[in-house]
Chains A and B, each alone.
Chain A
Amino acid sequence: MLIFECPYCGVLADETDLAAGGEAHLKRFGPGSSDDEFEAYLFNRENPKGVHFERWRHINGCGKWFNAARCTVTMEVFGTYPAQTLEPPTEITNNISIKRPGWKWKEFS
């Protein structure tokens, strides 16, 4: 069973306390953007076999959204962090680089 530490309330929450919210760090595009940008934002997904940044909501807890870095093959959780950020914290990306050399994710990796 997946267990994440909620970065807001500090609770070790298992997945029955949480709701999955899909890919994190989507760059949003609205009116005035190109069709390609709008399609990439609305529909296309990284869906990696490996390191994945994703959103979770502590729905049966504090109710807040947070982000997590997780491996989609081993289910290892590399860390969680508050959602009010454009990029994952460097401690987490460094941690991933040690454990998964050569990992990639769109702009930052």
Chain B
Amino acid sequence: MKKYSAFAVAREALRDHLGWERAWSSPEPQKKYDVIIIGAGGHGLATAYYLGKNYGITNVAILEKGWLGGGNTGRNTTIIRSNYLQDPSAAIYEKARSLYENLSQDLNYNIMFSPRGVMMLAQTQHEIRGYERTAHANALQGVSTEFISPQKVKKLCPIINIDGPRYPVLGALWQPRGGTARHDAVAWGYARACSDMGMHIIQQCEVTGVNTIDGKVVGVETTKGAIACKKIGIVVAGHSGVLADMAGFRLPIESVALQALVSEPIKPCMDVVVMANTVHGYMSQSDKGEMVIGGGADGYNNYSQRGSFHHVEETVRALVETFPIISRLKMLRWWGGIVDMTGDRSPIISKTPVKNIFINCGWGTGGFKAIPGSGWAMAELIATGEPGPLAEDFRVTRFREGQFIDESVAAGVAH
């Protein structure tokens, strides 16, 4: 792999850009791998990357039924934050956020991480108490957040209307080191690094069955033939239930649609991320100038990557009241992704009832921010067969044990 650098740009500029190579190769599948990762989204690719980087396991195939990063990795609103309430969540999301800080250098691929700051508005007395509690919890966890006044909210984000009338801004939970990154670049950067380590990224290859002998996995059936393996990591977000069904177990997960939309590009007017959970909307401005908007998830099971119109209407209605400047904006694109929701709104990184099948799912409405940390923890689980400190609290058996990691306040609505 040729290194990307300012020198490389200059060199290619002098020879009509003929020297750039493909960022990753597209090989045909081998008969056998040590590890198969199902799902070449951010989490799957990050898992493969840290398997190679941290554990030296590179005989790995990453199978993707569509195209690389074409699921929720390419559909989210790119927000990165770690201001969660519970200790296990803060640990893994903060690990991810800190890995994001130098991921561009680590991957030699510009993921455009922009720590512009994330604020979550408090618009009811109840939310003030909730976010003050989170700020105290974050202080104990070593996550840098603070509860700020409405005046500081206005100073950080001048286009916001803090005076109501329905839901005045009463303060905000402010994480200055949160921000955004280019979502596609995260998938592409990991893919390039995985391919460079000799891993096989096989796109247009759907897994149609899981082969087991005596409760132990031996391989998968795919649309490109059977592939044998020693271990499988299932990292397929919304389709986790489908893969679990193939492997013969059930999950505490339901798949629903979560929608987002972007406006036409306008001049820079907002250099922070604002989330308003009471009114179910959040917004940031992309580098192209589009206002990137997300809202609440639909309430019913859905695999169609389209959501209900009335949910988007509610989101936009609330945001127009919070940001009067956007009332005349035209919306350019509108899409949905299928997110896998658990009962406690926390993810699952776990062993499964089938030996040597590991699953990473349940990120629900907020997986993008966790990609590096999730991959780090999942790689440890697959390589050693046992969960490390980041993953052990997210075991699937926590539900029957009653050991929930309840983030329904921090994660249930907005991301």
**A residues near B, CB below 8 A?**
1-2, 15-16, 19-20, 22-23, 35-36, 38-40, 42-49, 52, 54, 72-75
Shortest beta-carbon contacts, A-B, top 10:
A47-B241, A43-B252, A20-B299, A39-B400, A20-B300, A44-B250, A43-B399, A49-B303, A72-B301, A72-B303
Distance in angstroms between the alpha carbons of A35 and B401 in the assembled complex: 9
Q: Is B278 an interface residue (CB 8 A)?
A: no
Shortest Cβ distance from residue A45 to the other chain B in the assembled complex, whole angstroms: 5
Q: Is B169 an interface residue (CB 8 A)?
A: no
Distance in angstroms between the alpha carbons of A45 and B300 in the assembled complex: 13
Of the listed stretches B74-82, B214-222, B304-312, chain A binds B304-312
Distance in angstroms between the alpha carbons of A42 and B300 in the assembled complex: 18
Q: Say whether A2 contacts B300, CB under 8 Å.
A: yes
* CB-CB under 8 A for A1 and B400, given A43-B252, A44-B252: no
Q: Is B255 an interface residue (CB 8 A)?
A: yes
Q: Say whether A1 contacts B309, CB under 8 Å.
A: yes
Kindly report which residue of chain A lies nearest to residue B302, judged by CB atoms.
A72
Q: Say whether A43 contacts B343, CB under 8 Å.
A: yes
Q: Is B242 an interface residue (CB 8 A)?
A: yes
Kindly report which residue of chain A lies nearest to residue B245, judged by CB atoms.
A48
Q: Is B239 an interface residue (CB 8 A)?
A: yes
Distance in angstroms between the alpha carbons of A100 and B307 in the assembled complex: 23
Q: Mark B201-241, 1 if CB is under 8 A from A, else 0.
A: 00000000000000000000000000000000000000101
Given contacts A47-B241, A72-B302, A72-B304, 15 further A-B contacts (CB under 8 A): A1-B308, A23-B301, A39-B400, A43-B399, A45-B250, A45-B252, A45-B254, A47-B253, A47-B254, A47-B301, A48-B301, A49-B242, A49-B303, A54-B300, A72-B255
**B residues near A, CB below 8 A?**
239, 241-242, 245, 250-255, 298-304, 308-310, 343, 399-400
Kindly report which residue of chain B lies nearest to residue A47, judged by CB atoms.
B241
**What residues on B are CB-neighbors of A47 within 8 Å?**
241, 251, 253-255, 301
**What residues on B are CB-neighbors of A75 within 8 Å?**
302, 304
**What residues on B are CB-neighbors of A73 within 8 Å?**
303-304
Kindly report which residue of chain B lies nearest to residue A35, judged by CB atoms.
B400
**What residues on B are CB-neighbors of A52 within 8 Å?**
301
Distance in angstroms between the alpha carbons of A1 and B343 in the assembled complex: 26
Q: Say whether A39 contacts B253, CB under 8 Å.
A: no
Distance in angstroms between the alpha carbons of A44 and B240 in the assembled complex: 13
Shortest Cβ distance from residue A69 to the other chain B in the assembled complex, whole angstroms: 12
Kindly report which residue of chain A lies nearest to residue B343, judged by CB atoms.
A43
**What residues on B are CB-neighbors of A54 within 8 Å?**
300-301
**What residues on A are CB-neighbors of B245 within 8 Å?**
48
Choose among A2, A15, A43, A74 the residue that contacts B400 (Cβ–Cβ < 8 A): A43
Choose among A2, A20, A22, A40 the residue that contacts B250 (Cβ–Cβ < 8 A): A40
Shortest Cβ distance from residue A105 to the other chain B in the assembled complex, whole angstroms: 12
**What residues on A are CB-neighbors of B309 within 8 Å?**
1
Distance in angstroms between the alpha carbons of A67 and B253 in the assembled complex: 20
The 26 sampled A-B contact pairs (Cβ below 8 Å) are A1-B308, A1-B309, A1-B310, A22-B254, A23-B301, A35-B400, A39-B399, A39-B400, A42-B399, A43-B399, A44-B250, A45-B241, A45-B252, A45-B253, A46-B241, A47-B241, A47-B253, A48-B301, A49-B241, A49-B242, A49-B303, A52-B301, A72-B301, A72-B304, A73-B303, A74-B304
Kindly report which residue of chain A lies nearest to residue B255, judged by CB atoms.
A47
Q: Say whether A45 contacts B251, CB under 8 Å.
A: yes
Shortest Cβ distance from residue B66 to the other chain A in the assembled complex, whole angstroms: 15
Q: Say whether A49 contacts B239, CB under 8 Å.
A: yes
**What residues on B are CB-neighbors of A42 within 8 Å?**
399
Distance in angstroms between the alpha carbons of A47 and B244 in the assembled complex: 10
Choose among B241, B242, B310 the residue that contacts A15 (Cβ–Cβ < 8 A): B310
Distance in angstroms between the alpha carbons of A35 and B254 in the assembled complex: 21
